[in-house]
Amino acid sequence: MAKILLGVTGSVAAIRAPALHQQLLAAGHQARIVATSAATYFFDPAAIDPINHNGTPARNPQSVVLDQDEWPGAEAGDRFRMGDDVLHIELRRWADILLIAPLDANTLAKMVSGLADNCLTCVWRAWDMSRPMILAPAMNTMMWEHPLTVRQLHSLAEIGSDGDAVPRLPLADLVDWINANCPAIAIVPPQIKRLACGDVGLGALADVDVIVEAVNRTVAKTQAAE
């Protein structure tokens, strides 16, 4: 099986992070989470593989990585010292696959713009683009169908297409094109459901078992190529 680095961003679908993490483990993978600060509004990091802190369950930083682990002690005025680990590089070295689920609209925009202002986007910016990454978007229907989403996914396709010209396509066709033509990138598209805001439409995170199946396919494909 594989080492999966699960990026969790600030979509309401981040409530699925504990279940996704558990199913990755159940499938035989090793899994660590790197969560944005917004993501922790939707799930409790201390609920995943907690450690005991004075009799109280506490977050295990080996299982759930937050921005404070990337810049430890910054709020207290501490500074980096030569020889300290650079966490986003250590995470990149550890992982076989980068899975971002849910991928929210904000993080998608950061990724294609090259912004790296949190631990997760630093991992993305430092990622070896020949290695597998799986993206499972989740956002409101109007956000998913916004013209900017097509533009951003087109830019992502250009990054991952090994220099092939990327055609101008509607959103659903562009997702299919990326999955067929970008060797290291797989997109698990959102599904139609009643969303947390009450709207019914396309944008909900794919089911957890569908995401795990995508991980398993990617692992099998990677191992067959070795």
Active site residues per annotation: 197
Amino acid, single-letter form, for residue 132: P
Which has the closest alpha carbon to 120: 140, 142, 104?
104
Distance CA 160, CA 184 (A): 7
CA distance 93 to 95: 6
Amino acid at 162: D
User: Residue 83: is it exposed, middle or buried by C-beta count within 10 angstroms (0-12/13-18/19+)?
Assistant: exposed
- Alpha-carbon distance values, 190 to 86, 126, 139 (Å): 33, 26, 8
Please give the torsion angle defined by the CA atoms of residues 200, 202, 208 and 209, in that order, rounded to the nearest 10 degrees: 110
> Which tokens belong to 58?
């506490």
Where b means 16+ CB within 10 Å and e means fewer, 19-56 reads ebbebbeebebebbbbbbebbbebbebbebbbeeeeee
In contact, 84 and 200? CB cutoff 8 Å: no
